[in-house]
Amino acid sequence: MEHLSQRITSLEESATLKMSAVTRELKSKGIDIIDMSIGEPDFPTPQHIKDAAIQAINDGYTKYTPVAGYPELRKNIAAKLKRDNNLDFTSDQIVVSTGAKQSLINVLLCLINPGEEVIVPAPYWVSYAAMAQLAEGKMVNIFAGVEQDFKITAAQLEAAITPKTRAFLFSSPCNPTGSVYTKKELKSLAEVFAKYPEIYIISDEIYEYINFVGAHESIAQFEEIRERVIVVNGFSKGFAMTGWRLGYIAAPLWLAKACSKLQGQFTSGTCSIAQKAAETAISADLTATYEMRDAFKRRRGLIVGLLKEIEGFIVSEPTGAFYVFPDVSAYFGKSYNGESIRNAEDFAMFILSEANVALVTGDAFGNGNCVRLSFATADEKIVKAVKQIKNALAKLN
Q: Residue 364's domain is classified under what CATH number?
A: 3.90.1150.10
What domain range is 323 assigned to? Answer: 6-44+288-393
* One-letter identity of residue 232: V
Residues 158 and 299 in one domain: no
Residues 92 and 147 in one domain: yes
**Burial tier of 244 (Cβ tally within 10 Å: 0-12, 13-18, 19+):** buried
The tally of domains found in the chain comes to: 2
Question: In this predicted structure, what is the pLDDT of residue 325?
Answer: 97
Residues 28 and 90 in one domain: no
Give the integer Cα–Cα distance in Å for 57 and 251. Answer: 30
Residues 204 and 93 in one domain: yes
Q: pLDDT, tens digit, for every residue of 316-353?
A: 999 999 999 999 999 999 999 888 999 999 999 999 99
Residues 227 and 202 in one domain: yes
Residues 192 and 295 in one domain: no
Residues 170 and 266 in one domain: yes
Question: In this predicted structure, what is the pLDDT of residue 28?
Answer: 82
Residues 77 and 58 in one domain: yes
Residues 326 and 214 in one domain: no
In order along its 397 residues, the chain shows pLDDT tens digits of 889 998 889 888 877 777 778 788 877 888 889 999 988 999 999 999 999 999 999 999 999 999 999 999 999 999 999 999 999 999 999 999 999 999 999 999 999 999 999 999 999 999 999 999 999 999 999 999 999 999 999 999 999 999 999 999 999 999 999 999 999 999 999 999 999 999 999 999 999 999 999 999 999 999 999 999 999 999 999 999 999 999 999 999 999 999 999 999 999 999 999 999 999 999 999 999 999 999 999 999 999 999 999 999 999 999 999 999 999 999 999 999 888 999 999 999 999 999 999 999 999 999 999 999 999 999 999 999 999 999 999 999 8
pTM over 0.85: yes
Give a yes or no: residue 163 inside a domain: yes
Q: What is the CATH number of the domain that holds 187?
A: 3.40.640.10
